[in-house]
Amino acid sequence: MDFSNKPVWVILGVPLLAFAAYYFGILGETDRQTFDRLKIGMRAAEVQDIVFPRPSGKYAHHMQRMTVGPNDNIHINNSIVLTMRDGVLVDKEWTGPEERKKFAPQR
């Protein structure tokens, strides 16, 4: 593959920009951010709006939205476990990898 006529910013910049967007959450909310937004005592409709947001865009009317039932146990991306009872969030558990503290000095 000949890269001689491609500008350097295309070869290096585009992948670096995509990585930065992913790393800093520009492309969307991470599972941890979703988990942190959920609060014990939220109603099923509030949980549904956070976990399964309304689809948008040109073909949104063709997409089916997941629902949160009154007595569901919800597992999301092997990172979040939610327990609903009588339409209220009664427990949430983070089962994903622990995040490392960024730029924390070692002692």
- Read off the pLDDT of residues 30-57 as tens digits, 9 standing for 90 and up: 889 899 999 999 999 999 999 988 887 7
What are the two backbone dihedrals, phi and then psi, of residue 80, each rounded to the nearest 5 degrees?
-135, 135
Q: Would you say residue 105 lies in a domain? A: no
Who's near 96: CB < 8 A, 6+ residues apart?
Answer: 31, 32, 77, 78, 79, 80
Q: Would you say residue 37 lies in a domain? A: yes
- Read off the pLDDT of residues 73-103 as tens digits, 9 standing for 90 and up: 999 999 999 999 999 999 999 998 886 655 5
- For residue 12, what pLDDT is reported? 74
Residue ranges of alpha helices (H) inside the chain are: 8, 14-23, 31-37, 44-51
The angle subtended at Cα 8 by Cα 7 and Cα 9, nearest 5°, is 90
Total count of domains within the chain: 1
Look up the domain containing 66 and give its range: 29-94
Q: Would you say residue 13 lies in a domain? A: no
- How far apart CA 35 and CA 33 sit, in angstroms, is 5
Q: Would you say residue 8 lies in a domain? A: no
